Amino acid sequence: MARLVFGMNQSLDGYVDHLSFGPSLALFRHFIKEAQEQAGSVYGRHMYELMRYWDEDQPDWDADRHAFAAAWRKQPKWVVSRSLDSVGPNATLIKDDVEGAIRRLKAERDGEIEVAGPTLAKSLTELGLIDEYRIYLHPVVLGHGTPYFAGARPPLRLVSHDRIGEDVIRLSYVPARS
């Protein structure tokens, strides 16, 4: 059975914003390894459209960017959207019965499936479908933006923490069961 994992870079004050801060080389290489090992990714429309950047090689990419793009292209993707009519290579569109589709996906697959984006994560959290939350905490204060938790934070239990590179702490939480 697959596990759904929601992980994103986060500022000290709780926001996610890929334009305001990005991963160091060590963290980017960590993300490459994760992408190579994942059983797939589930995206909302907005995050999927941002990630489509990796569909086409760019002339200024270094070896690490090529490695991430190759891993991203290889893995299956499921896109939750009522507004999209089609999705790109190696992707499946989920328009209706999101809960049923994600439950089937978890039952049919093994390994970790990434959940990308706070809005989608909020919906899946409300349905009790996310198995782990990974916060990549950066020493940045934004003061505004999209919060990591787009809704009420569920009760969580810390299961691990580790340092990645010089300045990022990864905090891993699972839902606290009463």
Task: Give the chain's residues under pLDDT 50.
Answer: none
pLDDT at 151: 87
pLDDT at 178: 54
> Which pTM does this prediction carry?
0.94
pLDDT at 18: 78
pLDDT at 79: 98
* C-beta of residue 8 within 8 angstroms of C-beta of residue 137: no
* CA–CA separation, 125 and 26 (whole Å): 29
Closest residue by Cα to residue 2 from 94, 90, 104: 104
* CA–CA separation, 167 and 112 (whole Å): 25
Tell me the domain boundaries of the chain: 2-175
Superfamily of domain 2-175 in the CATH hierarchy: Dihydrofolate Reductase, subunit A (3.40.430.10)
pLDDT at 74: 97
pLDDT at 85: 95
* CA–CA separation, 77 and 40 (whole Å): 6
